[in-house]
Amino acid sequence: MGSKKADSKNVPPRPGRARLEDSRRPVSPAAIADLPVAVGIPTDLEGLRAAASESLAYILQAVKRAGGALLIQTEEDAKPVHIAMQNPPASWKGLPETRGHPLLKVIRAVLTSGMEGAPDPVLDLAAAIPLLARSSRQGILLVAGAPLTAAEHARLVELARAAGRMMKISRSSQALHTADKELASLHMIATILASNLELDEVQKAMVEGVQQILDCEVGCLILVDESLGQYERKVMTDGPDWIRREILPLGDGWISESMRATRPIRVDRAGADPRLCADAEATLGVQLRSNLCAPLRAGDESIGLLDMINKRGGPFSPYDQELISLLATSIANAVYNQRLIQQMKVVNIDLKSSREELLNSRNTLRALFDNIPASLYIVDRAYALRAINRSRAKQARSRPNLLVSRCCYEALFGRIAPCTGCLVAQTLHDGQSTTRALRLADAEGEAKEWEISTYPILDEYGEVVQVVLFEEDVTERRHLEANLAQSEKLAAVGQLAAGVAHEINNPLTAVIANAQLMQRAIPPDSDLQESVELILIAGSRAAQVVRNLLDFARKEQYRFDRMDVNETIRRTLELVQHEVISRSINLKFEPDPDLPRVLASSDHLQGVWLNLLLNAFDALDGKPGEIRVSTRRQPREVQVVFEDSGKGIPAENLPRIFEPFFTTKLPGQGTGLGLSVCHQVIKQHNGRILVDSEIGRGTKFTVILPIP
């Protein structure tokens, strides 16, 4: 029993004896005195790493062990900040990078519970002790080799607590130091951003501030313009101004690669990247020792790099890397915002210039709008006037500003509903322009003819929101058209006059005179009296044809009456019978017996039929041929078709055949007004003329008249 008690003194304590509350016990003076004196209290991460290695060496020496490891990791750290190792056994190889390492399970258990891990001879693990500092864990101390004695264990726990306290103080000092530097940096950036400096001055102040904080020999600001495939590099050394500014092409070098990075890039050895060394010596004139660059990103946009070269106090630290990341974000946002401000200034200047141009354009358009002699106004979907020019307001005996917002049919026409025949609704519905004719009496009671056109105004979605109405007084034009029509009729009469005078008038005189003499000479009871009477009747009929021809040449106004279209065609055919016979033309008339009456001017329609027939005669070019005239009824309209077997009209001339004075006839054979007058007459009847022609096969004209 005694030997067992004596042996128990050398048995190591069971795992879990050192708990979180043990960290509150005072550390022995020896431990407090020995460990800090041996390693000191570091104030940066590099110092903390060095202190960890020195502390591990000191602790292992104190317990007379050769191998072990010290992990710096708190509950907040996702992975060890640093791991110091000294003479680790072969079973620890790959720690902590190797996933699934058997020792990682022990480490996670100690970090989670805050209690010691059990010794494991298989892993050559003598102890796994948490580095405790009051209520927090700062890391783990791992000791390799044989199990510890009680004295070694007690000494190890005491030194582990001292190391935990030292690490906590060190990391707190680091945090304060980092906070001070970050606050100073942020204060500097805030001061610069709050200033009214120009963009280049802001960039200078920021690069100078970063250079001073990191204590570097050279500071560079690289701003990239990918649209031009180039970048601008601004270089600063010890002064507050750039020593160099250069524009260089953007290639596939380290600048492009660094811009695509998501975190700062640190190069601690001069030869780590030959491209950096060559660039520094060739363009900056310095020998590269260390380099730290951070991409400047504003949102998803990459605008350049912040590049610091050759830290004076040694290599760049991870803290410097984190700090430049913070500063790069602020600088990127500042540069981006300054660019936006500059762009806004340019945009404001452009807007001011555009505003002046718009005002000038508005005044010009307003002057045009108000001084157009024709009537012009704009209505919305509710028929409310949105704009009206002076000419139309004058007709309404008012001023434009007094008419705007009122219903157009009420303000302009004195009606309580939209005007009869108004086409605004049609334009609002289908977005198509329309034209209609309207006859109104003016203030003096004189009849005026108006042509009213509507044009759609579309919004950004292509929907019709307003309609422009253009009212033009075409009274004088109609008079001119009537004169042209009369002239064309007279030209047609003149064309027939020679034939009529030669073929009818002279023989007709002789026939009638001799028939009268014969009537006197023949006894009243003779059978020949009936024959002479027939001769006189035929002569009188021929004379009537001549009189009808003269009546047609007489100028007349449009008089619209309900009439039979077939009858007007028959009267016209009587006028050209001599042409048909003399030219050996096969003329067929196929009337529709159920054709309804239309509202039209008989004389004007006869003029249209005559012109179309004469054109058909000319198309036969003096050769025998066929002309077919037919009428037919369609829903809500009457169609009159003139077809000939002539030479046809070339396709390039079809769009122009209704133009005034356009003709393909030789000089003296036509005026070019026939079809133009026909078109105007049918248009006055609210009808249409369609043409279909094929070279060598003939032409077909279709006249369409509405049924009232």
Verdict on whether the full-model pTM lies above 0.95:
no
Measured distance CA(547)–CA(544) in Å, rounded: 5
Largest CA distance in the chain: 193
Q: d(Cα 92, Cα 94) in Å, to the nearest integer?
A: 6
Q: Is residue 208 located within the same domain as residue 240? A: yes
Task: Tell me the per-residue pLDDT of 229-277, one tens digit each, with 9 for 90 and over.
Answer: 888 889 998 778 888 888 888 777 777 778 778 788 888 776 666 777 7
* Residue 575 domain flag: yes
Point out which residues pair with 387 in neighbouring strands.
378
Judgement on whether residues 142 and 235 belong to the same structural domain of the protein: no
Residue type, 204: K
Q: Say what the pLDDT of residue 544 is.
A: 55
What pLDDT is stored for residue 143 in this prediction?
Answer: 93
Give the span between the Cα atoms of 354 and 347, in whole angstroms: 10
Q: What is the CATH number of the domain that holds 424?
A: 3.30.450.20
Domain harbouring 78, CATH code: 3.30.450.40
How many domains in the chain? 4
**Same domain (yes/no): 101, 248:** no
Q: Which of 426, 454, 471 is the last residue of a domain?
A: 471
Identify whether 370 is part of a domain. Answer: no
The per-residue pLDDT for range 108-121, each reduced to its tens digit, is 888 888 888 889 88
Residues 549 and 669 in one domain: yes
Q: Are residues 298 and 234 in the same domain?
A: yes
From 420, 448, 471, the end of a domain falls on 471
| 3 located within any domain | no
Asked if residue 570 belongs to a domain, the reply is yes
CA distance 411 to 260: 68
User: Phi and psi (nearest 5°) for 41?
Assistant: -100, 105
Same-domain check for residues 391 and 427: yes
Segments in the chain below pLDDT 50: 1-34, 36-39, 548, 551-553, 555
In-domain check, residue 360: no
Q: Are residues 162 and 267 in the same domain?
A: no
Domain assignment of residue 135, yes or no: yes
CATH of the domain at 671: 3.30.565.10
At which of 429, 451, 471 does a domain end? 471
For 613-670, what is the HEC assignment? HHHHHHHHCCCCCEEEEEEEEECCEEEEEEEECCCCCCHHHHHHCCCCCCCCCCCCCC
- Model pLDDT, residue 492: 65
Both 516 and 656 in one domain: the answer is: yes
218 and 281 co-located in one domain: yes
- The answer to whether 67 touches 123, Cβ cutoff 8 Å, is no
640 found inside a domain: yes
- Cα–Cα distance between 451 and 471 in angstroms, integer? 6
The answer to whether residue 33 sits within a structural domain is yes
Residues 547 and 632 in one domain: yes
Q: Tell me: do 86 and 136 sit in the same domain.
A: yes
User: What is the span of the domain harbouring residue 102?
Assistant: 11-177
Quote the tokens at residue 226: 């990918």
- What pLDDT score does 551 carry? 47
> Same domain, yes or no, for 433 and 484?
no
| Residue from 570, 572, 571, 605 nearest 687 by CA | 605
153-175 burial code (b ≥16 CB/10 A, e <16): bbbbbbbbbbbbbbbbbbbebbe
